[in-house]
Structure 1
């Protein structure tokens, strides 16, 4: 069996990512995005940790979390918005946390697809998954997804999606007031 240089680099980066965040397995589909596996420094984005900070890297398709204790760090593969027009970049913060969120399509989503339901209750058919961190920007969330094929690729209308098991862990770590930057 022959091995490509890229395959070797991806396998090596996946191994390093497992060491950097041993509590989380990196699924095979996400291993293709080597840059998502590289740890970044929170100081490049924030002046202080406060209660914690999150950097959602839309190019690398990764969410980085640092706790206010200066010791806690987590790295999660993510989905990102499908187009630059739907991608909002900059600073925001967690303003609300919801376990079992309901989903309401935005007015622009309903305009594009009038057949969308007005509201989807919590459960397996809900696009927000099991947990959601509501951001200060209207309609923007960091949330879970029941459709695991979305992680590691552009697939949302503006939100940052995580595997349900990852958003459940981030949900317990991130407090209301956690500063967030989308880059």
Structure 2
């Protein structure tokens, strides 16, 4: 990768000098170390709405899909790789560094936290909220990564507490001037997930089963955003066809109906689960004209595109929240093979 950069005269592409990076902790056995060029590319792609999934400084299917989306939008060869032409296009956004050092404030550590999370829906229904398991998990979602990556970025930093400074992937929102009459709780969710208030205006979406992505197009049919997604399963296949988005429900409660889940346990009963980022549908539900189907968040962002769903389209919470700002009720949703 470094040789490619030098070959095209981009050694100073702001895939930042090593001295500007934290001393990352050695990863678990079998995992490659963080590649700062890849992490920088992931951070830029994330900020542009071509989500690489988990920002972790490593190659993977979500990064490949994000690069293909970005390349398509820019009229580049869709190699899915950080080839010279793509690096040159990303160079325009080099001012956004791959990591940022943030001093923790009390609001960033605010709960409620639930640990352990009850497995039975009946017990979950008794909770006030289906919150994160711990502050580290909340911080990871806030910066579009995982707790493990935060530990790698901050070896020996000690306990997470107000006033301490940590390194995070630099996905900080540049604007929090959210428009419209938003519920205070939803405004706080957007803030917690570092969702930029300036999002492209989407006219319709396409969910592509073969590519495992959700694509957002504007009124001129231009690709303006793309997110990795989990969709369907052998038991609940993706409903191929054209549907409409009926309503966008933010911080939704979840009506658990065991009759709709092939893997429900005998004796499970219908129940209403409280809202929360670690609920079955995460922080937002985009209801579809196909009954019982929707586009929603997830409590397990690291599994997006790698596990199956109960037929719905599942995104990382931060991607589902961005989509909710891009798309309005009535928008067309095309599901294709």
Q: Place the TM-score, normalised by the shorter chain, in its bin.
A: 0.7 to 0.9
Of the two structures, which has the highest relative contact order with CA contacts closer than 8 Å and spacing of 6 or more? 1
Unaligned regions of 5+ residues in structure 2, if any? 1-36, 74-201
Q: What residue in structure 1 maps to residue 48 of structure 2?
A: 22
CA distance in 2, matches of 1:112, 1:169: 31
| TM superposition shift of 1:170 | 0.6
CA distance in 1, matches of 2:59, 2:233: 16
| TM superposition shift of 1:32 | 2.4
Deviation digits for residues 55-90 of structure 1, max 9, x if unmatched?
011221100011336667101111112226432111
Question: TM-score, length-normalised on structure 1?
Answer: 0.72
Determine if contact 1:30/1:151 at 8 Å carries over to the other structure.
Answer: no
CA distance in 2, matches of 1:124, 1:156: 17
Unaligned regions of 5+ residues in structure 1, if any? 1-10, 42-50
| TM superposition shift of 1:160 | 0.5
Deviation digits for residues 75-114 of structure 1, max 9, x if unmatched?
1111112226432111001001100112223423178434
CA distance in 1, matches of 2:314, 2:209: 11
CA distance in 2, matches of 1:84, 1:58: 15
Which of residues 211, 225, 231 in structure 2 aligns to 1:60?
Answer: 211
Determine if contact 2:235/2:310 at 8 Å carries over to the other structure.
Answer: no
Question: TM-score, length-normalised on structure 2?
Answer: 0.42
Alignment RMSD (CA, Å): 3.4
Determine if contact 1:61/1:153 at 8 Å carries over to the other structure.
Answer: no
| Closer/same/farther in 2, CA of residues 134 and 21 from structure 1, 3 Å limit | same
CA distance in 2, matches of 1:161, 1:116: 24
CA distance in 2, matches of 1:34, 1:57: 16
- Mapping for residues 34-73 of structure 1, pairs under 5 Å: 36-37=65-66, 38-39=68-69, 52-68=203-219, 73=224
- Mapping for residues 65-104 of structure 1, pairs under 5 Å: 65-68=216-219, 73-83=224-234, 85-104=236-255
| Closer/same/farther in 2, CA of residues 70 and 82 from structure 1, 3 Å limit | closer
Instruction: Report how many aligned residue pairs link the two structures.
Output: 164
Deviation digits for residues 8-61 of structure 1, max 9, x if unmatched?
xxx99xx69x659734551368822677343379xxxxxxxxx71100112211
From the CA coordinates, give the structure whose radius of gyration is larger: 2
Which of residues 81, 90, 113 in structure 1 aligns to 2:265?
Answer: 113
SS at match of 1:123: coil
| Closer/same/farther in 2, CA of residues 126 and 60 from structure 1, 3 Å limit | same
CA distance in 2, matches of 1:30, 1:128: 27
Q: What residue in structure 2 maps to residue 167 of structure 1?
A: 320
CA distance in 1, matches of 2:288, 2:59: 25
Which of residues 294, 304, 317 in structure 2 aligns to 1:141?
Answer: 294
Q: Does 2:149 align with 1:123?
A: no
